[in-house]
């Protein structure tokens, strides 16, 4: 069958809509008619950083849609089911069996290489194969080939344009708080960069009753949303304009009684990561989530003398089969106000959505067919 995809034909090129042939679904695959796909910074970053030989490429990894066909070996999913698509995992290696599916031994092959395990691609055109299988879905497409391990069946009454981002961005932010840090009410949390991931982290902290929460961002519009979630806000540009006034580190330490218990960075800006580390209290913990920087420079003396921890997390250490339903329940309870963060765009306006994401006009862009 033919379908329409938003394809990137070379490193750093724009997304363009083209027709491709869809191969599948095979025995272990699921064919999903995509209704909506969240636009994530990872899609935009990966679209410019892959080697030239990995193009043309179809990205998209926050898809949601309706199942149209199911392979013979697929269990638990039926034609007509509504699904949220997330990242893939083998469910068989040691880490997967321990519940750490984000660290699956086969994660690179299943999510990032742009092809099936046998080297084939789900999409092709007259000029040849089109790289696909991004996060096991490549859902910048009217139809996506996915798998039982990365499809989460959801209630058919749910608005798929609202739940699509649960597959990555919202689950990463919320999961980092709920699964990785697990703060107590008396702890403090600082989030650097309050886009979609950062706001989800703040919402999760609020759901746990954390009373001291700080949001750091350069955009006042995002800080307003963070404040609505109960965060005290810090704009580094405002502090810098004060001349000899307090630095970001000074201000965060003041707000957290000498240093934060926990911090999350979503910016991937090396200078911000260093500030986040320095703003921690004794034995504080920083989780870095942003994609883009190749290296971070940390304050070694501060880390050694104060027992601080800096680490990463894949998808907030979440298992989508557990986290997506949990996020849906949080939204139903009024703890995850994603409706206020999402703006929908028709796929024909994907270029506008990318531009709005870059300049902060939108917190979470969701593309629809």
| pLDDT tens-digit series, residues 192-210 | 999 999 999 999 999 999 9
Distance, in Å, from the CA atom of 285 to the CA atom of 309, rounded to the nearest integer, reads 5
Distance, in Å, from the CA atom of 290 to the CA atom of 265, rounded to the nearest integer, reads 7
| pLDDT tens-digit series, residues 154-194 | 999 999 999 999 999 999 999 999 999 999 999 999 999 99
Mean pLDDT of 328-354: 96
DSSP conformation class of 181:
I
Beta bridge partners of 18: 5
Q: How does DSSP assign 141-179, residue by residue? A: BSEEEEEGGGEEEE-TTS-HHHHGGGGTHHHHHHHIIII
Place 291 in a pLDDT band, splitting at 50, 70 and 90.
confident
CATH architecture of 2-167+337-368: Alpha-Beta Complex (3.90)
pLDDT of residue 272: 97
Q: Is 76 left (phi over 0), alpha (psi -120 to 50) or beta?
A: left
pLDDT of residue 293: 85
**pLDDT surpassing 80 at residue 28:** yes
Q: What is the CATH code of the structural domain delimited by 170-316?
A: 3.40.50.720
C-beta contacts of 279-282 below 8 A and 24+ residues apart: 279/190, 279/248, 279/249, 279/252, 279/253, 280/306, 280/308, 281/188, 281/253, 281/256, 281/257, 281/306, 282/306, 282/307, 282/308
Q: Domain segments of the chain: what residues?
A: 2-167+337-368, 170-316
Would you call 277 helix, strand, or coil by DSSP?
helix
Distance, in Å, from the CA atom of 134 to the CA atom of 31, rounded to the nearest integer, reads 15
Mean pLDDT of 278-301: 95
Distance, in Å, from the CA atom of 103 to the CA atom of 94, rounded to the nearest integer, reads 10
18 token code pair: 């083209």
Quickly list H helices, the chain.
Answer: 41-49, 94-97, 107-111, 160-163, 169-175, 196-207, 220-228, 236-240, 248-255, 270-278, 300-306, 320-332, 350-359
Residue 111, judged by CB atoms within 10 A of its CB (0-12, 13-18, 19+), counts as buried
Q: Between the CA of residue 261 and those of 20, 186, 275, what are the distances in Å?
A: 50, 9, 14
Mean pLDDT of 59-64: 98
| pLDDT tens-digit series, residues 92-149 | 999 999 999 999 999 999 999 999 999 999 999 999 999 999 999 999 999 999 999 9
pLDDT of residue 243: 77
Q: What is the mean pLDDT of the chain?
A: 96
Mean pLDDT of 330-357: 96
Phi/psi of residue 22, each to 5°?
Answer: -100, 125
**pLDDT surpassing 90 at residue 216:** yes
pLDDT of residue 245: 78
Place 292 in a pLDDT band, splitting at 50, 70 and 90.
confident
Contacts of 93 (CB under 8 A, 6+ apart): 104, 105, 106
| pLDDT tens-digit series, residues 252-276 | 999 999 999 999 999 999 999 999 9
């Amino acid at each position: 069958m033919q379908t329409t995809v938003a394809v990137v034909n070379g490193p750093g090129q724009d997304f363009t809509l083209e027709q491709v042939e869809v191969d599948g679904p095979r025995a272990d695959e699921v064919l999903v008619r995509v209704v909506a796909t969240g636009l994530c910074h990872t899609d935009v970053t990966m679209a410019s950083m892959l080697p030239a030989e990995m193009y043309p490429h179809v990205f998209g990894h926050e898809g949601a849609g309706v199942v149209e066909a199911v392979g013979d070996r697929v269990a638990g999913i039926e034609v007509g089911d509504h699904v949220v698509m997330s990242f893939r995992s083998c469910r068989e290696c040691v880490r997967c069996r321990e519940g750490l599916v984000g660290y699956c031994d086969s994660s690179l092959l299943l999510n990032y290489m742009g092809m099936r395990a046998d080297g084939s691609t789900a999409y092709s055109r007259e000029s040849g194969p089109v790289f696909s299988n991004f996060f096991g879905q490549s859902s910048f497409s009217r139809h996506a080939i996915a798998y039982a391990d990365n499809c989460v069946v959801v209630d058919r009454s749910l608005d798929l344009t609202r739940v699509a981002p649960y597959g990555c961005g919202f689950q990463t932010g919320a999961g980092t708080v709920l699964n990785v840090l697990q703060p107590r009410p008396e702890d403090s949390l600082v989030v650097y960069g309050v886009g979609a991931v950062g706001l989800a982290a703040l919402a999760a902290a609020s759901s746990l009753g954390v009373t001291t929460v700080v949001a750091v961002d350069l955009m006042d519009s995002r800080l307003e949303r963070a404040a609505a979630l109960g965060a005290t806000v810090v704009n580094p540009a405002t502090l810098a304009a004060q001349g000899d006034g307090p630095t970001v580190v000074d201000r965060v330490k003041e707000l957290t009684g000498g240093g934060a218990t926990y911090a999350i960075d979503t910016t991937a800006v090396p200078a911000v990561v260093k500030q986040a580390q320095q703003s921690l209290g004794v034995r504080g913990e920083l989780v870095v989530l942003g994609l883009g920087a190749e290296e971070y420079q940390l304050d070694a003396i501060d880390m050694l003398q104060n027992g601080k921890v800096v680490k990463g997390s894949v998808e907030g250490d979440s298992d989508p089969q557990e986290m997506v339903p949990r996020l849906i329940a949080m939204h139903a309870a009024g703890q995850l106000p994603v409706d206020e963060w999402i703006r929908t765009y028709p796929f024909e306006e994907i270029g506008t959505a990318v531009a709005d994401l870059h300049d902060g006009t939108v917190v979470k862009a969701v593309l629809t067919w």
